[in-house]
């Protein structure tokens, strides 16, 4: 199979192999297509054996789908490719080499509930008031520290206020208890390999030899620990290709650092850069509106997205006084479009920022007899908490 289905820039990005490569993939520009074809190209051309390639994604679903697409391109049912999320890849490393840090290879991985249970025990042990900080807030703070590669000692050195000193103390005890229980949390999965690499460089060399080509998806969402992990693995051969879009970086609140992608050329000076600017998803009107928003970002890579679907209709802006009027306006717009263009209801979608906003929309749809589905959630009146309240109200009314 050739690369004829790719456009000129996509093809050039796929064929750029030796040394570091940065691909800025604008929204809807065929990023997944480029990633899968690059993996296909690496294997099909015999440039690297499948087991020599490490492909990192941000979700297990993305990893599974990408691997399936590559196998389809290669026309094979088996592919010995190391592909997965940062957490799954790091967990594999730790199952091999964590004994360097004094843990067993059969360590437990604490989920959110396990973490909160431990933190609550520490709250009671040290008589910490939940008015100062809640267990969940503290868990989030510890996670942020780890994403920024700040160990308890580093946090303690910076602690000044009562709250900061309390957080520092619990963080330190939290880590001690994890080790006593031969357990790690999800953030430890990312930071512990770095400790192993530093403590025992021969382990790092082992993985540098194992993975001779590294491919990373959604690079704009990497945090400091993930950046350091990739840099350590790639510095021996510099065969690393990262793909992402700084305009789509939305996880800064949980430690993601957009400068990782913006400064990639500083990290790898011989880097080649490709920018995918042809959009296959939207119209030019939509792209222009989106660009007008992200242009206000303090730091961003220059991109000029061009729609393959033409200019499209002019965007409309409707201002309403409340959510009920907004829902009515949306319903009217849908009914008008159906009447004028003979479209069916399944050709429309309504996006909202929070799940709570669905109620007014659902009520309007029900009133007007418009069929609808909720994607990624459940209907307002089918939510467990809402059904419970309604059941109580019905029982009260009957009594």
CA distances from 78 to 62, 70, 71, 193 (A): 18, 10, 7, 28
Sheet with 21-25, side-by-side order of all strands: 82-85, 53-57, 213-216, 240-244, 21-25, 272-276
Same domain, 205 and 280: yes
Evaluate whether residue 309 is within a structural domain: no
CATH of the domain at 248: 3.40.50.300
Contact (Cβ atoms closer than 8 angstroms) between residue 118 and residue 188: no
Six-digit token pair at 162?
Answer: 């009562």
Q: What is the total count of domains within the chain? A: 3
Same domain, 112 and 259: no
Q: Which residue has the tokens 């939207």?
A: 282
Q: Which residue has the tokens 């589905």?
A: 373
Evaluate whether residue 101 is within a structural domain: no
pLDDT attached to residue 386: 75
* pLDDT mean by block of 10 residues, the chain; 399 residues: 88 97 96 96 96 96 93 92 96 98 97 96 92 94 94 93 93 97 97 98 98 98 96 97 95 91 96 97 95 90 93 92 96 93 90 89 94 83 74 77
Contact (Cβ atoms closer than 8 angstroms) between residue 34 and residue 23: yes
SS3 254: helix
pLDDT attached to residue 1: 54
Residues 187 and 143: their CA atoms lie apart, in Å, by 6
Could you give the residue ranges of the DSSP H alpha helices within the chain? 8-15, 31-44, 60-74, 86-97, 112-125, 135-147, 152-158, 162-180, 186-199, 201-210, 224-234, 259-262, 264-267, 284-294, 323-341, 358-368, 384-398
β-pairing, 21-25 vs 53-57, is: unpaired
Evaluate whether residue 66 is within a structural domain: yes
Evaluate whether residue 116 is within a structural domain: yes
Same domain, 277 and 220: yes
Evaluate whether residue 308 is within a structural domain: no
Same domain, 211 and 349: no
Evaluate whether residue 303 is within a structural domain: no
Domain hosting residue 153, numbered range: 108-181
Of 227, 261, 285, the position where a domain reaches its end is: 285
Same domain, 81 and 196: yes
pLDDT attached to residue 333: 94
Polymer length of the chain: 399
CB-based contacts of 45, cutoff 8 Å, min separation 6: none
Partnered with residue 109 across adjacent β-strands are 184
CATH of the domain at 164: 1.10.10.160
Same domain, 60 and 204: yes
Torsion sign over Cα 377, 380, 382, 386: positive
Evaluate whether residue 238 is within a structural domain: yes
Residues 316 and 332: their CA atoms lie apart, in Å, by 14
Evaluate whether residue 140 is within a structural domain: yes
Q: Which residue has the tokens 């520009």?
A: 29
Same domain, 195 and 275: yes
Residues 45 and 102: their CA atoms lie apart, in Å, by 43
pLDDT attached to residue 384: 74
Of 181, 216, 238, the position where a domain reaches its end is: 181
Same domain, 171 and 279: no
Same domain, 198 and 86: yes
Same domain, 176 and 195: no
CB-based contacts of 24, cutoff 8 Å, min separation 6: 244, 245, 246, 261, 273, 274, 275, 276, 301, 303
Same domain, 46 and 165: no
Same domain, 49 and 133: no
Residues 128 and 33: their CA atoms lie apart, in Å, by 52
Of 137, 161, 181, the position where a domain reaches its end is: 181
Element at 185 (helix H, strand E)? strand 183-185
């Amino acid at each position: 199979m050739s690369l004829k289905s790719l456009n000129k820039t996509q093809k050039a990005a796929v064929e750029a192999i030796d040394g570091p490569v940065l691909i800025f993939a604008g929204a809807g520009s065929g990023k997944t297509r480029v990633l899968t074809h690059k993996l296909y190209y690496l294997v099909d051309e015999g440039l690297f054996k499948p087991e020599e390639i490490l492909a990192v994604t941000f979700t297990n679903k993305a990893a599974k789908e990408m691997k399936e697409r590559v196998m389809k391109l290669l026309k094979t049912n088996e592919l010995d490719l190391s592909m997965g999320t940062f957490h799954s890849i790091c967990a594999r490393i730790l199952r091999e080499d964590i004994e360097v840090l004094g843990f067993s290879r059969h360590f437990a991985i604490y989920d959110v509930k396990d973490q909160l249970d431990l933190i609550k025990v520490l709250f009671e042990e040290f008589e910490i008031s939940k008015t100062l900080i809640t267990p969940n807030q503290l868990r989030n703070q510890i996670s942020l520290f780890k994403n920024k590669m700040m160990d308890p000692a580093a946090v303690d050195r910076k602690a000044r206020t009562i709250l900061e000193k309390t957080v520092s103390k619990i963080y330190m005890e939290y880590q001690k208890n994890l080790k006593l229980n031969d357990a790690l949390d999800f953030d430890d999965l990312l930071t512990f390999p770095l400790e192993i690499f530093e403590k025992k460089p021969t382990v790092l060399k082992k993985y540098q030899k194992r993975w001779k080509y590294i491919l990373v998806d959604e690079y704009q969402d990497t945090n400091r620990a993930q950046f350091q992990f990739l840099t350590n693995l790639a510095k021996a051969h510099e065969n690393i290709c990262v793909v992402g879009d700084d305009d789509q970086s939305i996880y800064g609140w949980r430690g993601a650092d957009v400068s990782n992608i913006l400064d990639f050329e500083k990290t790898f000076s011989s880097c080649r850069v490709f920018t995918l600017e042809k959009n296959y998803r939207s119209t030019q009107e939509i792209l222009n509106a989106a660009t007008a928003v992200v242009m206000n970002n303090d730091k961003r890579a220059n991109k000029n997205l061009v729609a393959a679907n033409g200019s499209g209709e002019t965007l409309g802006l409707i201002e309403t006084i409340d959510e009920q009027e907004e829902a009515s306006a949306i319903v009217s717009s849908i009914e008008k479009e159906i009447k004028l263009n003979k479209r069916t209801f399944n050709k429309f979608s309504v996006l909202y920022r929070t799940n709570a906003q669905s109620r007014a929309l659902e009520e309007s749809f029900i009133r007007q007899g418009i069929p609808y589905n909720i994607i990624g959630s459940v209907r307002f009146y089918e939510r467990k908490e809402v059904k419970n309240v309604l059941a109580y109200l019905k029982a009260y009314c009957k009594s």
